[in-house]
Amino acid sequence: MTAGGSILDDILVRVRTEIAAAKEERSVETLESMLADTPERRSFKDSLTAGFGLIAEIKERAPSRGGMRSENVAQAPAAYEASELVRAISVLTNAPDFGMSIERLWEIKLGSTKPILRKEFIIEPYQVLEAKAFGADAILLMTQVASKDELQKLHDYARELGLDVLVECGNAEDVARSPSGADIMGINTRDMHATRERYERSREGSAAGGGDLSTDMQALNHIDLLPDDVLKIAESGIAVETVCGVRDLGYAAALVGSDLLLNEEGVRAALAEYEQALAG
């Protein structure tokens, strides 16, 4: 771990433990045998070309915000399915830190007609195959968790399996490490190298009604670092008050989670607020 203990270091330790357990439960051969029964692929990329919209997220909790509202988590799949603004659904499959699982992704896929993104800390080809076997249409690749060569191999394997890939960056170094051929790229405002203590303060602040202290919204101005010919996605910390600015910067979509899942009026009311803001 890095000095001070980054939240990313902590999470990756748990991710590796999860991968080992998954391999004990389901071998590569088992996953490959499941491919014939996966639902028809939906194009994540095509869904993002119909005008600015949301990639709406489902998770039980988050390191920076704590627990989501359980009633909102329960409402989310149906609310996202009914919303024209929601172009795709992002499902966190990390159990220790986000309370979800790959099995939950499968359930959500079967109940929806929209593309499903597996949002996970993907560091091994096994996780890519697992995503495909459980019905994901796309995966997230974080440039912060692997080398350029490793990212290229993961990206190419995902494309071989017919999965779209959202490549997440935070700065110029991340963009330089991105795999060649990437056609969907995101800028994440969240600092995953921040210490666990900073995330703890963020959770405490969120519980007291404050914002997300783990994000820097100015990072979205790094959109100019991304290649001109890729679809550009804004990630993390997006709220109804900032979504129009995100659109105006040139992003094709915003990935929104906590702002929907923590809304006191419910997910449908939160989506209506986004629709009203973007129509204004």
Give the Cα separation of 106 and 205 in Å (integer).
33
End-to-end CA distance of the chain: 46
Give the pLDDT score at 191: 75
Q: Is the pLDDT of residue 210 over 80?
A: no
**What is the pLDDT, as a whole number, of residue 216?**
85
Rg of the chain (C-alpha set): 17
- Residue-level pLDDT at 3: 40
Averaged confidence pLDDT in the chain? 91
Confidence of residue 120 (pLDDT cuts 50, 70, 90): very high
Report the pLDDT value the prediction gives residue 203, as an integer from 0 to 100.
46
pLDDT at 194: 58
Domain residues of the chain, as ranges?
A: 7-35+47-279
pLDDT at 1: 34
In which band, very low, low, confident or very high, does the pLDDT at 201 lie, cut at 50, 70 and 90?
A: low
Please check the confidence at residue 212 and state whether its pLDDT lies above 90: no
Strands (E), 44-181: 53-58, 61-62, 66-67, 86-92, 116-119, 138-142, 164-169
Q: What is the tens place of the pLDDT at every residue in 1-31?
A: 334 478 898 999 999 999 999 999 999 999 9
Continuous segment of H or E residues that includes residue 187: strand 184-188
Structural domain 7-35+47-279, CATH architecture: Alpha-Beta Barrel (3.20)
Instruction: Answer yes or no: are the C-beta atoms of 138 and 115 closer than 8 Å.
Output: yes
Q: Is the pLDDT of residue 232 over 60?
A: yes
Q: What is the mean pLDDT of residues 56-75?
A: 95
- Is the pLDDT at 195 greater than 80? The verdict is no
Please list the residues that pair with 231 across neighbouring strands.
184
Give me 103's structure tokens.
Answer: 């099995």
* DSSP secondary structure letter of residue 173: H
Q: What is the pLDDT of residue 202?
A: 46
User: Percent of the chain at pLDDT above 70?
Assistant: 90
